[in-house]
Structure 1
Amino acid sequence: MAVALRPRLAAADAFVLIVPECNRSVPGPLKTLIDSFRSEWEAKPVGFVGYGLSLTGGVRAVEHLRQVSAEFHAVGMKDVVLFPRVLEHYDAQGRFPAEPEAPRPRPSSCSTNCSGGRWPCATPSPYARTASETPAWCAVPASRPWWAR
């Protein structure tokens, strides 16, 4: 198989490695396959997609692959795609994707000031001018820096 794969890897402009987390790392057969090639990885970008059964979603396997790709002089992409608790994405009949829940409305106290709207917040900041200006966990009074609170 490795002989047939070599020309395909050499001809590729970039790679996306999709990896399950196995014992907090990369599955052995995948690591063996990666180690079977050297020049095919050099100076090519590598993207990472990880999945796992836990909340970490394969991040430990991805971080291990980052180290491996650096040894092969590949260029690991900073951003990754992770699928935590991957089995929860399947319904009882094993179909993917499971029917998603209806989206929950954002609380009126959420803001885009600190998080760009990425993280939910529940309570308004005591330092905000209005309740919707800044979430409590990222508010810093103007008179005191964050480290002096």
Structure 2
Amino acid sequence: MAKFVLLVGVLFGMTAVVAGAFEHAVRKMIIEDTTGAAEVAGDELSDPAPNAEAAKRLSQYETGVKYQMYHGLAMIALGLVMAFSSRGQVLGLITCLALVVGVKLFSGTLYLISAFGMTHLVMLVPIGGTIMILGWILFLITVLLFDPLIDKEDLETT
């Protein structure tokens, strides 16, 4: 189970990097959508957004990428806790699933809202955030259940 959680964490991290790399294309889509211009002058990532709506949507996209990366790293840490513990395996897997669902609802919805203007999905963002908080509570319980596979006494020679 620990290997599965590690794999999910690595995949989340990888796809967060991919989403970040697509920011240039998404930025162009957002600016075209909010300004109506087919050509975007000075569309460098460092250029300021041409209007408040574009700035808001770009910020939402970046928030989605950040939270996906943070939770990918958290799942890697969770997988390591599970790999070195004799307890909490099932709870660790449930924690991973809660984080996956939470991130998909939170970050995934932010991606759709920002890139495609699907504002009717906005109510999924706080649901995803709530599920992520639940995942962190479950992570805390998993850590509290941590029982090392090898005790210090086992390492000492007599």
* TM, length-normalised to structure 2: 0.21
Considering fraction of residues, name the structure with more helix.
2
Larger radius of gyration: 1
TM-score normalised by structure 1 residue count: 0.22
Which protein is richer in strand relative to its size?
A: 1
